[in-house]
Each structure stands twice: as structure tokens, then as C-alpha cells.
Structure 1
Amino acid sequence: MSDSLESRVLGWLKEQGFPLEMEVASIAKAAGFEVSQSEYYLDPDGGEPREIDLILSLNNRKGDFSLTYNLFVECKSSRDKPWLMFSTPNELGSSLTQDNRFNFIELQSAFISSNLADTLLLKSTFNGNLDHLYPRLNTEPLLGYGVTQAFAQAGDAPFKAMMSTTKAALSHTKRMSKLFGLYVPVIFATPVIVIDVPLLAVSFSSESNELAVSEIRRGNLYWKHVVGGRSRIGVYIVTKQEFPAFLADCYASAQWWTNVDEESLEQIRKENLGPKQPS
């Protein structure tokens, strides 16, 4: 291969999203996650096959139970168009109290999980053990309700990315819940978008009656768009620079999730609390 061809190919690749996806995969492997690239899933709203950039996972088995922690990652590259997350003060609460129990039920409903995992999340919420889990919607001072891309002339990259990652998480969780056979699936799934441009939180200042813009490194979005029959899903948006630190938090959470003791899991199964079905 000639030097000019190699240079042209590398130049073209840098203008696409492939380098970001490959870099993110490398970071995830170094963090200890199993990484699957270019996975396909069936769109839960139409049945068409679609592609997700990355699935990051940590798995373990405890007796009859198969415990899985998944991150479904879409990578979006754009040299000079920052993403804007429209935000309000996060009122979901940093800890469980009598006054904010409803907020925590709302938080728990935004997770994507299998049947028994959903019950585990609910019990963890009311037992005060949810602090072990990350990412979750009560971790940041601002909570996003919408995302757009500044200076974009056409298309809606944030919306497409959110649709892709949430649909992949829902579809994969539902499919894997049916394939475990001899094992009871305990699946936790989080949609994640990684960007290589600044992420800005846009909020309204009641003091100045003006918009306020601040740069953040990771943001949580409480997305109320209907996807796969769900109307509330938590989505995390992370800058490439912040991704290694974000993954370190996720890996610590994954270690906790995949090592829940078998006795607790058996108790949850016996109680038959009637959790929601994965969509």
C-alpha cells in the first residue's frame, strides 16, 4: 500500500465516527469490561434489525442466578458542534427519606432491568442500598430533560443516538431474559452516549431570569420519550475525556451488582413481588 493511499484512508477515517468507537472500546477493555462491537438488535417498535456501537458487560453466576451488568454505548463524533442538555435542578434526592420516596420510585422506574432485577432494585431502594448502583438519576445536581446539538444545520444526532441506545438496551434485555434457560436472569442495563465535543448544561436562572450555560463532563437525562412501550428511561451522556472516570464508577457498581449474595436473590424470588416485565 502506498503512503499516499494510507494517508488518504487515515484522513477519511478521522472524519468518521470509527476512531472514537475504537478508542472507547479500548478504554472499556482496560477498565475490565467485556466488550462487543457492532452488535445487532431487533427494534422493539418495528422489528427491524439495527446496530449498536458497543455493549459493555460484566457477568457472574450465583447458584441458579445469572447476574449481568450492561452498558449500551453509542459513540457520536462531531468536531465543532457541542451538545446541549436542557436541565432543571435535580429533585430526585441524593438519599431516601420519607419526603422523597415518590422521587425514588420515579428513579427506579427509569432503569432497564429483567424481572427479578427490577425487584432487586426496588428492594435496594427502600433498604437504602441503592448507593452501590451507578449510573443512577440522583447523582448529579442537574437533571436533563432534552438534548440538542448546537450549530447543527440538519438532522438530529442526539435524538438518533438516544433512540438507538435505549432501543438496544430494551431489546437486548428482553431477548436475554428469554435465553438463559436453566439460569434466572438478573440483568441491569444502562443506555450511554459518548461524545468527543463539549457537553453543556442549559438551565434557566430564576435569579437573573436568563438562560445559564455551564460545561459539564457527564450528564444524566431523564428521557420521557416513548420507546418500546416505556415512557421514562435514564440515559447517560459522557464526554470522551470523562469516559475513563465514568467507567471506573460503573465497574465498581458492576462488581457489586454481579456479586449480590445468593441468599438475597432466593429471598426475592420467593417473595414474588410482581415486578414489571422488561419491554
Structure 2
Amino acid sequence: MASAPQQPQLPLFFNDLMPLNSKDHKNYSTRSIDSAPWLAKAHAIPLTVDEFVQAQRHYPIVFSTGDNPLPLALMGLNEGVNTFVDDEGKVSEPVYIPAYIRRYPFMLAKLQQDATDLSLMFDPTSGAVGEFDEGERLFDDEGNKTNAVDRILEFCQHFEQSAQRTQAFLTELKDAGLLMDGEVAIQREGEEKPFIYRGFKMVDQEKLRDISAEKLAEWHKNGLLMLIHAHVYSLELMRVVFARQAQQGKAPQPAAAN
């Protein structure tokens, strides 16, 4: 999921990307922020396979469309609707927070398209990194990175490793022809027509039943089958999230379902 820091193709949430270095950022600190306005309007969050088991308890897990699909945790069913945070981006209840969110405002990315190494980058507009009196220093007085940078690097490295495992999982699904265009119809009481949601991919359960016993045994052994089941079970939460939207006064008009 690491991508070259080239605008306008910045990753979700990032307004800018800057390489962290001791020369320009010697006096910078990182601090916690109690709200995330950038999250309030985000309904689909990238997810790694390492998170499926935890995330499927709270969110529907679907796959994006296109040639290179990615797993997504749906925090809302409609564009601009996040049912798990308030308008300021504060989490409204105990819930699993995807690593993609927890990683921000940092990420590993290539400084140049042909580079082989990934560098630690950050979003200078986040409000979480800068010359603050509070927080943790990123470099000491001699310009050496601190424990804070080591922890950030470790988290970002684990995220990249998880992203690689996610790509391997998706390659298996695509090679087996298991991904299909998804569609969910939700009938709301008092409405004449159901809300139809499309624009995502899901596992074709009929094709899954046709997978050979040998392949299923292999997937069971390497944990892939558990990930597929976590995705399939999580789809039941589509209606739960839709109900959350209605409860919060964010239910779509009949023609607004995606």
C-alpha cells in the first residue's frame, strides 16, 4: 500500500507527504490528537488481512473494484458517512480502529519512482507533527532519532509487511476466480423500494463451494480460509451499519445508495 509521494495521487487522508529528516525536523515532536476531522467523512477504510478477525466484529469487509482490489472496512455505507465517529472525528464508542487510521500521519513511501528503499514520510498538515512544547521529540539535540521514531518505524514496517500478505491473499482469490461484483439490497420499513448497494467486490460463495478439497485443505492450513470466512460473515453487518445511519439521521434517499 505504500505509494510514491506524488500529487495528486496521495493516499487517503494525506494532504501532503514530506520525508522526515533530522536536518529539517530536528526540533519536531509528535503529539496525540483527540479528534480526527479527516476521518468524519471517510466511509471505507483500507484494511489488511492481519486485521480481518478483529475488524469483522464491527465492520462489513468488502473489496474495492478495479484490477487491483483492496480490502475495505465499511464504517458507513454511503459516501461521506462514518457512523463510528462524530462530526469532529472523535470515536463514539469502543471499536476496533484499523491500522491504516492509526498509522496516520506517517507512512513508508518511495522518495522517487525508481527507488528500491522506502523512507519514513509524514503529512505536515496533520497537526500531530511539528514544533510543539508537548509530545515526544523525534530527534535528540545531536540529531539522532529517538525511541518515538523507532516505534513509528516499527509500526509502519509491520503495516507494509501486512500489506504484502494482503496482496498474496488477493492474488489467491483472483487466481481462483472467487471475486465477484457485490450487491446488497436493504429494505427499509415504510419504503416502497429497497436500497441497492453496488460498487464493491465480494467472494462468490457458489464458486467457493466448488473449490477442490485439496485446495480447501491448503487454505485451511495456511489460514486463508479463515480470512475468507471472516469476510463472508462480516457482510451480515451491512444491515447493522445501515441501521446505524438511520439512527443517526444519515439514512440515504432511495436513489442515493452506492
The alignment's TM-score, normalised by the length of structure 1, stands at 0.24
The alignment's TM-score, normalised by the length of structure 2, stands at 0.26
Greater share of residues in strand: 1
